[in-house]
Structure 1
Amino acid sequence: MSGIVGYIGRKTAWPILLDCLRRLDYRGYDSAGVAVSDLKHIEVRKTKGRIDDLHALLMLEPVGDGCLGIGHTRWATQGKPSDVNAHPLCDDQKRFFVVHNGIIVNYPHLKKQLTQAGHTFITETDTEVIPHLLAHYDTGDFTETVRKVLPMLKGTYALAIMSSQHPDTIIAISQDNPLVLGFGQGEAFLASDASALIPYTHEIHPIKNGEIVILQPGKIRVETIDGEVVEPQRIQVEWNEEDVSLQDYPHYMLKEIFEQPKAIERTIAGRLADDGVRLPELDAFLSDEQIQQLKKIDIIGNGTSHHSGMIGKKILEQMVGIPVETIISSEFPYSHGPLDEHHLVIVLSQSGETADTITALKTAKAHGCPVIAITNKRHSTVSRKADCTIYTEAGPELAVAATKAYTSQIVVLILLAIWLTEKRQGPGRPMIPELLRALRKLPEEVEKTLVMTHDAIDEFAQVTDDQNTLFLIGRGLDYVLALEGALKLQEVAYLHADAYPAGEMKHGTMALITPGVPVIALVTQEEVKDKTISNIKEIKARDAFVVGITTVGDDEVGDVVDGVLYIPQAHPFLMPILAAIPLQLLAYYAGAVRGYDVDRPRNLAKSLTVE
Structure 2
Amino acid sequence: MSGIVGYIGKSSAHTIILDCLTHLDYRGYDSAGIAISNMKTIEVRKEKGRIEDLEALLEIEPMTNGKLGIGHTRWASHGAPTVLNAHPLSDENEQFFVVHNGIIENNRQLKNMLIENGHHFTTETDTEVIPHLLAHFDTGNFADTVKKVLPYLKGSFALAIMSKSDPDTIIAISQENPLIIGFGQDEAFLSSDISAILSYTKEIYPIKNGEIAVLSPKGIKVETVEGMSIQPEKKIVEWDQADFSRQEHEHYMLKEIIEQPKEIKKTLEGRLIDDRVHIPELESFLAEKTIDQYQKIDIVATGTAYHAGMVGKKVMESMLNLPVEVSISSEFRYEHGPLNEKNLVIFISQSGETADTLSALKEAKLHGSSTIAITNRQRSNLARKADCTICTNAGPELSVPATKAYTTQITVLLLLAIVLTEKTNGPGMDRIPEMIKELYNLPEEVEKTLIMTQDAIDQFAQVTEDQDNLFLIGRGLDYVLALEGALKLQEVAYLHADAYAAGEMKHGTMALITPGVPVIALSTQIHLRDKTINNIKEIKARDAFVVGVTTIGDDDISEIVDEVMYIPEVHPFLMPIIAAIPLQLLAYYAGTVRGYDVDRPRNLAKSLTVE
Deviations 1:221-280 (A, max 9, x none): 001001111000200111001100010000000000000001100000010122421112
How far is 1:289 from its partner? 6.0
Asked whether the equivalents of residues 276 and 418 of structure 1 are also in contact (C-alpha less than 8 Å), the reply is no
Q: CA deviation at 1:287?
A: 3.7
Q: Is the 8 A contact 1:68 1:168 kept in 2?
A: yes
For 1:466 and 1:175, how far apart are their aligned partners in 2? 46
Name the counterpart of 1:518.
Answer: 518
The 5 A counterparts of 1:322-471 are: 322-471=322-471
Tell me the secondary structure at the aligned position of residue 285 of structure 2.
Answer: coil
Once residues 532 and 276 of structure 1 are traced to their aligned partners in structure 2, the CA distance between those partners, rounded to angstroms, is: 35
Alignment partners' CA distance in 2, 1:189 and 1:596 = 33
2: distance between equivalents of 1:119 and 1:335?
Answer: 40
Aligned to 2:567: 567
Match of 2:556 in 1: 556
Q: Report 1:170-569 matches (<5 A).
A: 170-287=170-287, 290-569=290-569
The answer for the alignment partner of 1:598 in structure 2 is: 598
Once structures 1 and 2 are overlaid, which stretch shifts more, 513-522 or 55-64? Answer: 55-64
Q: Aligned-pair distance for 1:288?
A: 7.9
Could you say what secondary structure the match of 1:330 adopts? Answer: helix
Question: Quick check: 2:157–2:175 contact (8 Å CA) kept in 1?
Answer: yes
Question: 1:9·1:218 contact (CA, 8 Å) conserved in 2?
Answer: no
Task: Tell me the secondary structure at the aligned position of residue 53 of structure 2.
Answer: helix
Give the secondary-structure state (helix, strand or coil) at the position aligned to 2:220.
strand
Letter in 1 for 2:478: D
Query: In 1, distance between residues paired with 2:70 and 2:508?
Result: 54
* Distance across 2 between alignment mates of 1:6 and 1:375: 26
Query: What is the CA-CA distance between 1:334 and the residue it aligns to?
Result: 1.5
CA distance in 2, matches of 1:540, 1:96: 65
Q: Secondary structure of the residue that 1:70 maps to in structure 2? A: strand
1:587 corresponding residue in structure 2: 587
Q: Deviations over 1:392-419 (max 9, x none)?
A: 0110000000000000000000000000
Check conservation: 2:275, 2:437, Cα contact below 8 A: no
Segments of 5+ residues of structure 1 without an aligned counterpart are: none
The letter for the 2-side match of 1:444 is E
Matched, 1:37 2:37: yes
Matched, 1:24 2:24: yes
C-alpha displacement of 1:65: 1.5
Q: Secondary structure at the match of 1:45?
A: strand
How far apart in 1 are the matches of 2:288 and 2:158? Answer: 40
Partner Cα distance (1:91, 1:513) in 2: 56
Correspondence for 2:5: 5
1:302 aligned partner, one-letter code: T
1:286 aligned counterpart, secondary structure: helix
1:481–1:576 CA contact under 8 A, matched in 2? yes
Q: CA deviation at 1:286?
A: 2.3
The residue number in structure 1 matching 2:78 is 78
Query: Given the superposition, is the C-alpha separation of residues 289 and 13 from structure 1 closer, same or farther in structure 2, using an over 3 Å criterion?
Result: closer
Distance, in Å, in 2 between the alignment partners of 1:49 and 1:280 is 45
1:69 and 2:75 matched: no
How far apart are the structure 2 equivalents of 1:3 and 1:146?
21
Q: Displacement, 1:38?
A: 0.7
The alpha carbon displacement at 1:464 in A equals 1.0
SS at 1:447 equivalent: helix
Q: Secondary structure at the match of 1:451?
A: helix
Conservation of the 8 A alpha-carbon contact between 2:70 and 2:160? yes
Question: Would you say the 8 A contact 1:299–1:347 is kept in 2?
Answer: yes
Residue 195 of structure 1 aligns to which amino acid in structure 2? Answer: S
Letter in 1 for 2:213: V
CA distance in 1, matches of 2:288, 2:296: 16
Q: Deviations over 1:5-32 (max 9, x none)?
A: 0000000011111111111111111000
Matches of 2:218 and 2:163, distance apart in 1: 18
Instruction: State the distance in 2 between where 1:274 and 1:353 align.
Output: 35
Q: Can you list the C-alpha shifts for 1:10-58, whole angstroms capped at 9, x where unaligned?
A: 0001111111111111111100000000111100000111100000011
For residues 481 and 283 of structure 2, what CA distance do their matches in structure 1 show?
Answer: 31
% identity of equivalent residues: 69
How far apart, in 2, do the equivalents of 1:334 and 1:294 lie?
22
* C-alpha distance in 2 between matches for 1:602 and 1:281: 37
Separation of aligned partners in 2, 1:293 and 1:154: 37
CA distance in 2, matches of 1:444, 1:124: 52
- The answer to whether the 8 A contact 1:186-1:218 is kept is no
Instruction: Name the aligned partner's letter for residue 380 of structure 1.
Output: S
| Kept in 2: contact 1:89–1:131 (CA 8 A) | yes
- Could you tell me how far 1:447 is from its partner in structure 2? 0.3
Report the counterpart of residue 152 of structure 2 in structure 1.
152
SS of structure 1 residue aligned to 2:374:
strand
CA distance in 2, matches of 1:545, 1:572: 27
2 CA distance for matches of 1:406 and 1:233? 32
Distance 2:515 2:462 in 1: 18
Quote the RMSD (CA, aligned, Å).
0.8
Structure 1 segments (4+ residues) deviating >6 Å: none
> Is contact 1:276-1:419 (8 Å) kept?
no
Specify the code of the residue in structure 2 equivalent to 1:116.
E
Amino acid at match of 2:504: E
What is the DSSP-based 3-state SS (H/G/I as helix, E as strand, rest coil) of the residue aligned with 2:10?
Answer: coil
Q: Give, in whole Å, the separation in 1 of the partners of 2:72 and 2:288.
A: 48
Equivalents in 2 of 1:507, 1:299: separation in Å?
29
- How far apart are residue 283 of structure 1 and its match? 1.8
Bigger drift between 401-410 and 266-275 goes to: 266-275
Q: 1:187 touches 1:218 (CA, 8 Å); kept in 2?
A: no
Normalising by the residue count of structure 2, what TM-score does the alignment of the two structures yield? 0.99
Residues 313/52 of structure 1: CA separation in 2 closer, same or farther (3 Å cut): same
2:71 counterpart SS class: strand
Give the superposition deviation at 1:64.
Answer: 2.0
* Matched AA of 2:73: T
**Does the 8 Å CA contact 1:181/1:188 hold for their aligned counterparts?**
yes
Match for 2:186: what amino acid?
G
Worse overlay, 276-285 or 592-601 = 276-285
In structure 2, the residue matched to 1:94 is: 94
Contiguous gaps of at least 5 residues in structure 2: none
In 2: Cα distance, 1:539 partner to 1:228 partner: 68
Q: Does the CA-based 8 Å contact 2:449-2:578 persist in structure 1?
A: yes
Q: How far apart, in 1, do the equivalents of 2:274 and 2:433 lie?
A: 8
| CA contact 1:89–1:97 (8 Å) conserved in 2 | yes
Q: Greater CA deviation, 454-463 or 282-291?
A: 282-291
Provide the C-alpha distance between the structure 2 equivalents of 1:279 and 1:310, rounded to a whole number of angstroms: 21
Deviation for aligned residue 1:218: 4.4
> Tell me, what secondary structure is at the counterpart of 1:103?
strand
Inter-partner Cα distance in structure 2 for 1:115 and 1:423? 61
Take 1:321 and 1:248, find their aligned partners in 2: how far apart are those partners? 48
Amino acid at match of 2:601: P
Name the stretch that deviates more: 312-321 or 528-537.
Answer: 312-321
Secondary structure (helix, strand or coil) at the match of 1:335 reads coil
Q: Secondary structure at the match of 2:465?
A: helix
* Mean CA deviation greater in 489-498 or 215-224: 215-224
Q: Which amino acid aligns with 1:97?
A: F
